[in-house]
């Protein structure tokens, strides 16, 4: 059976406006572009993993309007199993309002809509699917009780758990030791650990029971921290960025796919760095997410920063 990943997922429709630079409080400006695009950290990571050629299943709760159908159609096109996606009558879908600036960076406000109702019971209904997978991943856009339930099932059945702690928020004490791999960016790591120094912040979270921390560092790549092992830095890629929406999700999804294949750490992080770099080459979260062969060709071309 081919490697398989389950994502406890958020689904959002992204309303993306392109403007020159961040707004001041109370300021209005004219946007130069506007798009309505698929998003949600969970759905994005699931698509990134599916494009890396592993089987992907979603556990999610979505609304029953046209935006919910947009998600179902997208997942079907990507070959993602949506058997455990629940449609809730009369509820709106998750929506993200996103401002993208000239340099490709962004600000995002997420309203979770029907996703806020994803519960431990929804996750437990998918226990058989979770048991068959190699990796279970989630982000902090879904209720933490749903993630906790999924990671408890995963731990019982030796399935690797991966959490993208975005948006960063305080996590329950009981969740930390259930996390095999955590993928924060620098700011998220600092907020979670309440510590500005990256090495010390990672050490603090490892002491809470996290198995491994992969800090994403933009075009500088990433750094892997594990208990009692020297940190491993893996170089990133210098690319001309169009927008960075979903780059962290692409990293998480590609890493999940590599770990599901039992790829050694260094190679897995190289692949995730390359997939994330390529994802910044077109507008929106999923447009430029690479297939496995695109990612391998890019790695072979050698654009690394270190």
118 binds ligand RIB (CB under 6 A): no
- Tell me the closest approach of the beta carbon of residue 203 to ligand RIB, in angstroms: 26
Chain-centre distance for alpha carbon 13: 15
- Tell me the closest approach of the beta carbon of residue 67 to ligand RIB, in angstroms: 12
96 binds ligand RIB (CB under 6 A): yes
- Tell me the closest approach of the beta carbon of residue 50 to ligand RIB, in angstroms: 16
133 binds ligand RIB (CB under 6 A): no
Size of the site for ligand RIB (CB under 6 A): 15
126 binds ligand RIB (CB under 6 A): no
Q: Which of 108, 116, 120, 235 binds ligand RIB (CB under 6 A)?
A: 108
- Tell me the closest approach of the beta carbon of residue 244 to ligand RIB, in angstroms: 9
Q: Which of 78, 243, 249, 271 binds ligand RIB (CB under 6 A)?
A: 249
Chain-centre distance for alpha carbon 43: 8
Q: What is the DSSP string of 100-157?
A: E-TTS-EEEEEE-GGGGG--HHHHHTTHHHHHT-SEEEEETTS-HHHHHHHHHHHHHT
Nearest one of 198, 267, 234, 244 to 99, comparing CA atoms? 244
44 binds ligand RIB (CB under 6 A): yes
Q: 57 near 68, Cβ under 8 Å?
A: no
Closest residue to ligand RIB: CB criterion: 39
Q: 188 near 168, Cβ under 8 Å?
A: yes
Q: Which of 4, 7, 18, 41 binds ligand RIB (CB under 6 A)?
A: 41
Q: Which of 5, 6, 12, 253 binds ligand RIB (CB under 6 A)?
A: 12
Give the span between the Cα atoms of 178 and 60, in whole angstroms. 20
- Tell me the closest approach of the beta carbon of residue 218 to ligand RIB, in angstroms: 14
| Binding to ligand RIB, residues 134-193 (CB under 6 A) | 141
Span of 53-61, 182-190, 244-252, 292-300 interacting with ligand RIB by CB under 6 A: 244-252
The answer to whether 249 is a known catalytic residue is: yes
149-158 burial, b for 16+ CB within 10 Å, e for fewer? bbbbbbbeee
The active-site residue, picked from 103, 180, 249, 297, is 249
| Residue linked to tokens 């990671």 | 151
For residue 10, is the peptide bond before it cis, meaning its omega torsion is within 30 degrees of 0? no
The phi-psi region of residue 43 (left if phi > 0; otherwise alpha if psi is between -120 and 50; otherwise beta) is alpha
Q: 100 near 18, Cβ under 8 Å?
A: yes
| Binding to ligand RIB, residues 273-292 (CB under 6 A) | 285
Q: Which residues touch 123 (CB under 8 Å, ≥6 apart)?
A: 8, 59, 130, 146, 149, 150, 153
Q: Footprint of ligand RIB on this chain (CB under 6 A)?
A: 12, 14, 39-41, 44, 96, 108, 110, 141, 245-246, 248-249, 285
- Catalytic residues, by residue number, are 249
């Amino acid at each position: 059976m081919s490697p398989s990943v389950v994502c406890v997922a958020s689904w959002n429709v992204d309303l993306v406006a392109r403007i020159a630079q961040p707004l001041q409080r109370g300021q209005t400006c004219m946007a130069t572009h506007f798009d309505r695009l698929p998003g949600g950290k969970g759905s994005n990571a699931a698509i990134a993993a599916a494009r890396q050629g592993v089987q992907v299943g979603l556990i999610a709760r979505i609304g029953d309007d046209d935006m919910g159908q947009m998600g179902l159609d997208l997942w079907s096109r990507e070959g993602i199993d949506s058997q455990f996606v629940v449609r809730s009558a009369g509820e709106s879908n998750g929506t993200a309002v996103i401002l993208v600036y000239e340099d490709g960076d962004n600000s995002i406000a997420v309203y979770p809509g029907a996703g806020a109702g994803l519960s431990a019971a929804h996750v437990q209904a998918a226990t058989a699917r979770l048991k068959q997978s190699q990796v279970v991943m989630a982000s902090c856009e879904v209720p933490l009780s749903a993630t906790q339930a999924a990671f408890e099932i995963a731990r019982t059945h030796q399935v690797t758990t991966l959490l993208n702690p975005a948006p960063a928020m305080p996590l329950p004490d009981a969740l930390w030791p259930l996390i095999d791999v955590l993928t924060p960016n620098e700011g998220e790591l600092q907020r979670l650990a309440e510590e500005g120094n990256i090495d010390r912040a990672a050490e603090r979270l490892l002491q809470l029971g996290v198995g491994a921390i992969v800090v994403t560092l933009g075009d500088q790549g990433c750094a892997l921290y594990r208990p009692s092992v020297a940190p491993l830095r893996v170089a990133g890629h210098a690319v001309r960025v169009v927008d960075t929406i979903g780059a962290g999700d692409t990293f998480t999804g590609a890493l999940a796919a590599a770990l599901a294949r039992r790829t050694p750490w260094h190679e897995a992080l190289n692949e995730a760095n390359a997939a994330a770099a390529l994802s910044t080459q077109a507008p929106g979260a999923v447009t430029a997410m690479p297939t496995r062969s695109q990612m391998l060709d890019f790695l072979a071309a050698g654009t690394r920063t270190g």
